[in-house]
Amino acid sequence: MKHVYILDILKAMNNPKIIIIGSDFKWEEEKLLSEYSTSEFILLGDLNIEMGEKTRFMRNGVDLFDSFNGDEKFIIRRSRGNFEKLVAFVEILKKRGYVFTDSFQSISTNLNKEIFLATIESKIFPHPSHSIIVQMGEKLSNIKLEFPLISKPVTGRHGEGIVIHENLESLEMELKSAQENLIIQKYLDIESEYRIFVVGNVALGVVKKKVAPGKKIANYAAGSSFHSVDLAKKYLDEAVNLCKIQEIDIGGVDVVKTKEGKYFILEINRCPEFKAFSQATEVNVSKNIIDFIIQKS
């Protein structure tokens, strides 16, 4: 019996409890839980923050951290509707020495393109030409513009708020009514749009996005279909490199290829959904994520 007990302890040491935390429980969260028996999902909406000598994250009247042993590892999922709460939670994880996916920097900045996109630099995946951040109310007279171009809000998601402008009048009207700063950039004549899925130091694969009929954006939420394809190794390596620089452990690197054969970065999504990618590539993304966080120190 004593021998069995020691083996159980050694097994537990090699298999830490994994906490998955986010604002919603969807296909991805279900797959992550089913992949690893010693795991738990925590809904951000169930937590209340109490501040004092020690910050407490209360759930059902109990501080969540009181239930931890100190060796738990965390997979940080979506923050929808609870962004500030998640950022505070991750900062406390960092201060108390817990291991979690991505980093405080990437989690706190990824949703704001004004911060995050501006810090991406790449010769292989440059930004589209004349990509400019325009402040609300800013005059455009001193900015070089080439039409057609697009504008998009700095905190837009899933292609929300993207507008194509054929002339200055259209752009000025959009800027006048904008509720936040905008990114404007040259409209690209796109041949193909791709997502490269990265976990740790590995590109798990690439999918080509096909825009749904009647839609303008190649997004799964907008009904786009995904098809597994191959890209040259240098593109996969650059996607991994960019995620590493941006401190993103689990990233969806969205790039486009124009009809002229040039590649451009669109964005890097921290904590991307992976249902469509998994179905298209038959890659077990959840297993790769679990394996990664177990090994992360």
* Within-domain flag for 178: yes
Q: pLDDT category, 2, cuts 50, 70, 90?
A: very low
| Domain contains 106 | no
Whether residue 229 is found in the same domain as residue 282: yes
Q: Which of 271, 296, 297 is nearest to 285 (CA)?
A: 271
Are residue 148 and residue 226 in the same domain, yes or no?
Answer: no
More confidently predicted of 141 and 16: 16
Q: How many domains does the chain have?
A: 3
Q: Are residues 46 and 182 in the same domain?
A: no
SS3 97: coil
**Domain that residue 174 falls in:** 132-186
pLDDT of residue 158: 73
**In this structure, what CATH number is given to the domain that contains residue 209?**
3.30.470.20
Task: Tell whether 230 and 117 lie within a shared domain.
Answer: yes
Q: Are residues 217 and 121 in the same domain?
A: yes
φ, ψ of residue 249 in degrees (nearest 5):
-85, -35
Model pLDDT for residues 17-76, shown as the tens digit of each residue: 999 999 999 999 999 999 999 999 999 999 999 999 999 999 999 999 999 999 999 999
Domain boundary among 171, 186, 201: 186
pLDDT in tens, 251-280: 999 999 999 999 999 999 999 999 999 999
Q: Is residue 36 part of a domain?
A: yes
CA–CA dist 30, 283 (Å, integer): 16
